[in-house]
Structure 1
Amino acid sequence: MKHRSGTWRWGTALAAALLTASAVAWHATAVQALDNGVARTPPMGWNSWNTFGCNINEALIRQMADAMVSTGMRDLGYQYVVVDDCWFNPNRDSSGNLQGDPSRFPSGMKALGDYLHGKGLKFGLYQVPVDKTCAQYFGSYPGATGSQGHEAQDARQFAAWGVDFLKYDWCSPNGSIDQQVTTFAKMRDALAATGRQIVYSINPNSIHAKTGPQRNWGDVANMWRTTEDITNAWDTGQANGYPMGVQNIVNVTVPLASYARPGGFNDPDMMEVGRGGMTDTEMRSHFALWAILAAPLIAGNDLRSMSSATQTILKNQNLIAVNQDSLGLQATQVSNDGTRRVLAKRLANGDVAVALFNQGGAATTVSTTAAAVGKSGTSFTLLDAWTNATSTTSGSIAASVPAHGTVFYRVSGGTIVSPPPSTTTALVSAASGRCLDVPQSNTANGTQPIIWDCNGAANQRWTASGQSLQALGKCLDAPTGATAGSKVQLWDCNGQTNQQWTFNSSGTVSGNSSGLCLDVNGAATANGTTVILWTCTGAANQRWTRQ
């Protein structure tokens, strides 16, 4: 949804409804990324909305393009200049074609595209799949020029104007997931039919504030929003509220790593770097985390007046290289105790990028090991992405990290563990065919998992990182001193043996500390049955399939 001075409060109720089994019918199967020849790495560029909202015109966009070139951003990979909402003539022409607002864009949209292409840049536009754009929906801009019923016509118009990037924003409280998939796919297919390669960026309304999108949209789009709109703040103070601070968005996006691949990326929204509202340390974390999460790097600041500190962040070549790595992987979580969080991203040349992230309010040491991030060997080199300093280690990776800060290393040397150290799948009970599920996406410590109809949502996606099993940023945990019949639970990740699990050849999953197996209580098969720890028997209610 679009940024507004008001609120978008219907989203909370809608998200709650979408969590019900009847509202989500998606199986936990792999989704292939859209193969339309673009977005093989996360798109980079600039978007007009965060700073200017509806206050846009032709001269402003040209000035931003000029600044993108003069500051060297273009040469570092920033290429898409995206004109967001309010570029429209409120009325289509006599043939039903879209038009630019003649007072704001007197030279026309094709001329603007030609100007951007002449600068070695690419042209992006905003549109919606419903009848009204967000500005029109909220009454801050006249007209009703959405693409509903005009998909093929509008796609041809975009291609004729030389558009290279379409941001397609569902700005309506209505529409089931099935309806959204069908509608977004219409424009996907219409763009493909033009023969022009156009990055397709969507913002569905089926976003749950704690778990993100209710499906993997990789078969529909090149990038898809993971949360409600970003705001220019570190933390909104409510993880399921609107709008979303940087740390809130990270919490939602980290568990979605399995969705990202060349051609399709999770989109945690346009960046707020350089817009105030956060400290320099927080801005650096913002950019570093977007980089390691394989997020599109779409700047949202005024490029004409960037401070040197802002330029240093946005033009960090070490972080850009990690973001643009050809493998197209999103970092997976190695550990998280609620304050100290470690993310790792495997790179094409065998290196591993590691972010040591301090979510707390005071400086602390954040640490991991080469083995934990998927490296084997006895000697490794650490390149600090911010300082360019290098150091060597026999395996320890640690740093003192300021509050809300991120120390970022590129780890070289040794060899990559094969297979990769983390995978994200559903865990399907052999007895019922239902999935291991975090009820209501509740991330409170002590939450007991259940089985539920498989739906592919994030609260059924389990990441095996090392020997931990993680969902929604928390670890599967056996209570200290657990015995047969004890509940299994979610808890802050701490790396202890009661959070380590072994996948056995029999299909059972046993706790390294307790020796007990994940067991569907009483061999029941109904939705909502709790999962407990029990003496390993190999029975069907203890066998799990990764899908």
Structure 2
Amino acid sequence: MYPPPRSTGSGLVQHLWAAAVRALALALTAAAALLFATPGPAQAATVSQVSVPTAPMGWASWNSFASKIDYDVIKAQVDAFVAAGLPAAGYKYINIDEGWWQGTRDSAGNITVDTSEWPGGMSAIADYIHSKGLKAGIYTDAGANGCGYYYPTGRPAAANTGSEGHYAQDMLQFSEWGFDFVKVDWCGGDAEGLDAATTYKSISSAVATAAATTGRPLTLSICNWGYQNTWNWATGLAPMWRTSTDIYYYGGTASQSAVLSNFDQTLHPAAQHTGYYNDPDMLTVGMSGLTAAQNRTHMALWAISGAPLLAGNDLTTMTSETAAILKNSDVVAVDQDARGLQGVKVAEDTTGLQVYSKVLAGTGNRAVVLLNRTSSAANITARWSDLGLTSASATVRDLWAQSNLGSYATSYTASVPAGGSVMLKVSGGTEASSTSYSATSTGKYTGVSAASTGLDVVDVAYTNTGSTAVTGTLQVNSQTATTVSFPPTGSSQGTVSVQVDLSKGSSNSLTFTGSSLPTLGSITVSPIPGTNGTLVVGKASSRCADVYNNTITNGTQAEIWDCNGGQNQAWTYTSRKEFVVYGNKCLDAYNQGTTNGTKVVIWDCNGQNNQKWNVNSDGTITNVNAGLCLDAYGAGTSNGTSLVLWACNSGTNQQWSQS
């Protein structure tokens, strides 16, 4: 649950702090990169892939019942969950959401509940869930007051329904009650203006301590709706984190537009790996508002993105059609793929006709979704070259029909209904060329080459002879760092995979640090050509067009920043004259402005002329609607200088190159 959407911004102090960090990182990188790796022959690191923890699957109470829940409601859903065969399809969790608690505590500060609604207390319902071979989840808020206080949803507003000031106590109590999962919302945290990264780090620590004390693993779900750019800092703190606000609001209905919006907001492939997952919200499959075809598209998009699958429909009234969608073993297998990567957009030849691909475990395997966002049926083609495969033959399977379609070389084309999708698996293909690198010093790989700016899969060879996973920090160039988990391998070497953004050329570096790093071997780098873009580099500044701090919010003003090849600097210049970043945001002259100083921002691509740009032979980039030049404001050359429109004047702050 969450409050209505609102715009967010970054403060000056945060911006300056980030600038200092980036500058320091660049300095350290330059000092360390004195030795360069010699690329070795391509090697198939995929043969020893280690399975990583998959995204959680289950059911959650919020979408169908809001705060109107008690023991009998949950018990009935548990029974229906089992009767429908969902456990056999991989669904494990029964998660009790908002409304179970009205903010009362005893004299020792322990949570108390209404035993007329929860006979035997919360441990009794956890025991019932466990008796069916399932796992139990519960809910709280990061602030002092939970969502039900600010936004009553079937019960009167109740104060003190958050865990602020009680993180360690509450997480231990949840674990002692027998819960295996805890969702921590952000209504109170947002209202109080808490720093999300700091707050959830404390909660994550409390969860770890509780699990160590009771011996019961406790899965943490961070639910701050993508506010404060969760994907920048949540990896390593929790197995899953929300990237957007809700699909479904209390009293409303599900909609395909909301499904598509949440899917678009969850695509942060560099953050998702080794058991950590972007979460676009609970499923609304089978709820009022979506057709069967839209339900299949919803499920396909969550699967291609590797999202947690938490059904939200009323299981006691679930139709056989809905059950078949949720339980389709081929589609679920894509979501639960052991490699743990996120699918990404690899083609959009015509506006709204999109191809998404996910790199799967094994060699030569891809999941593909052909998505038609237009109002007319159309053919959409998946090209093997966009997926990182050669033109050799590969087998194509229709995952909804669960039938093989035959072998195809080079590509596969399907007719996709208006507003609909087709989901495929491409298997047995031949991987395109990859390159392996040895470390130039402990944990550091320099001289890593990329033919184009874009996303690459990196297989990291390592040995972890221990009995538990260990973690390390990965920084690519001077981009935002991410936490990588290395599960046990036994005595033999294994690999885990990450997706990283690289700049064109051979100056890329990947650096692993940490006190518990395993023994690292070589890395193997494999491009995903369909993600290729360019860096847009200012002649005056030698800095890149950049979206601050990986922000995806419409209206965020573009700027210049030290070039690092991050997703927020990789721009695809399309045949439609758009500069596209993140796969779905266009460089935009704000509010169709045509005057000097008009802000240049990112916005959902919409085909308007204020999102079209001419790339000229003199190095200028002019807005089609305004006829003005892309300009680093005030002839600025420092990090954070804003991009605007300005009358073309031959200044070097209006000249750009692409690489």
Deviation at 1:20, TM superposition (A): 6.5
| AA partner of residue 400 (structure 1) | S
| AA partner of residue 70 (structure 2) | N
Aligned mate of 2:377, from 345, 351, 363: 363
In structure 2, C-alpha distance between the alignment counterparts of 1:436 and 1:78, rounded to whole Å: 43
| Aligned equivalent of 2:10 | 18
| Aligned equivalent of 2:325 | 313
Residue 369 and residue 519 in structure 1: after superposition, are their counterparts in 2 closer, same or farther (change >3 A)?
farther
Which runs of structure 2 are paired with 1:103-252 in the superposition (5 Å)?
Answer: 103-139=116-152, 140-172=156-188, 173-175=190-192, 179-194=195-210, 195=212, 196-204=216-224, 207=227, 213=230, 215-231=232-248, 232-236=253-257, 245-252=258-265
| AA partner of residue 640 (structure 2) | N
Contact 1:375 1:415 in 2 (8 A): yes
Which runs of structure 2 are paired with 1:85-100 in the superposition (5 Å)?
Answer: 85-100=98-113
| SS of aligned partner of 2:386 | coil
Instruction: Normalising by structure 1, report the TM-score.
Output: 0.78
* Aligned: 1:374 with 2:388: yes
Aligned mate of 2:336, from 324, 329, 339: 324
In structure 2, C-alpha distance between the alignment counterparts of 1:314 and 1:345, rounded to whole Å: 19
Deviation at 1:43, TM superposition (A): 0.5
* Aligned: 1:425 with 2:501: yes
* Aligned: 1:48 with 2:124: no
Aligned mate of 1:393, from 408, 427, 439: 408
* Aligned: 1:483 with 2:649: no
| SS of aligned partner of 1:61 | helix
| SS of aligned partner of 1:160 | helix
* Aligned: 1:451 with 2:560: yes
In structure 2, C-alpha distance between the alignment counterparts of 1:455 and 1:61, rounded to whole Å: 49
Deviation at 1:181, TM superposition (A): 1.5
Deviation at 1:401, TM superposition (A): 0.6
Aligned mate of 2:307, from 288, 295, 298: 295
Residue 463 and residue 39 in structure 1: after superposition, are their counterparts in 2 closer, same or farther (change >3 A)?
farther
Which stretch shows the higher mean deviation, 312-321 or 193-202? 193-202
Residue 404 and residue 478 in structure 1: after superposition, are their counterparts in 2 closer, same or farther (change >3 A)?
closer
What is the aligned residue count? 482
Contact 1:372 1:466 in 2 (8 A): no
Contact 1:25 1:455 in 2 (8 A): no
In structure 2, C-alpha distance between the alignment counterparts of 1:246 and 1:40, rounded to whole Å: 25
| Aligned equivalent of 2:72 | 59
In structure 1, C-alpha distance between the alignment counterparts of 2:56 and 2:624, rounded to whole Å: 35
Deviation at 1:206, TM superposition (A): 5.5
Deviation at 1:374, TM superposition (A): 1.3
Which one has the largest radius of gyration? 2
Which stretch shows the higher mean deviation, 57-66 or 287-296? 57-66
* Aligned: 1:354 with 2:368: yes
In structure 2, C-alpha distance between the alignment counterparts of 1:216 and 1:269, rounded to whole Å: 18
Unpaired runs of at least 5, structure 2: 26-50, 436-453, 457-499, 504-534, 588-610
Residue 158 and residue 352 in structure 1: after superposition, are their counterparts in 2 closer, same or farther (change >3 A)?
same
In structure 1, C-alpha distance between the alignment counterparts of 2:375 and 2:163, rounded to whole Å: 46
Contact 1:334 1:466 in 2 (8 A): no
| AA partner of residue 158 (structure 2) | P
| SS of aligned partner of 2:387 | coil
Percentage identity across paired residues of the two chains: 35
In structure 2, C-alpha distance between the alignment counterparts of 1:456 and 1:400, rounded to whole Å: 35
| Aligned equivalent of 2:352 | 339
Which runs of structure 2 are paired with 1:491-506 in the superposition (5 Å)?
Answer: none
| Aligned equivalent of 2:479 | none
| AA partner of residue 103 (structure 2) | P
| AA partner of residue 329 (structure 2) | Q
Deviation at 1:21, TM superposition (A): 7.6
Contact 2:353 2:370 in 1 (8 A): yes
In structure 2, C-alpha distance between the alignment counterparts of 1:19 and 1:295, rounded to whole Å: 31
In structure 2, C-alpha distance between the alignment counterparts of 1:203 and 1:435, rounded to whole Å: 32
Unpaired runs of at least 5, structure 1: 3-7, 30-37, 237-244, 492-517
| Aligned equivalent of 2:417 | 402
1:407-450: CA deviations, max 9, x gaps?
A: 01100122222449834538797986965324886879xx9954
| Aligned equivalent of 1:462 | 570
Contact 1:292 1:323 in 2 (8 A): yes
Residue 422 and residue 526 in structure 1: after superposition, are their counterparts in 2 closer, same or farther (change >3 A)?
closer
In structure 1, C-alpha distance between the alignment counterparts of 2:378 and 2:74, rounded to whole Å: 43
Deviation at 1:81, TM superposition (A): 0.5
| Aligned equivalent of 2:97 | 84
Aligned mate of 2:426, from 404, 411, 420: 411
Deviation at 1:60, TM superposition (A): 1.6
| SS of aligned partner of 1:186 | helix
Contact 1:207 1:214 in 2 (8 A): no
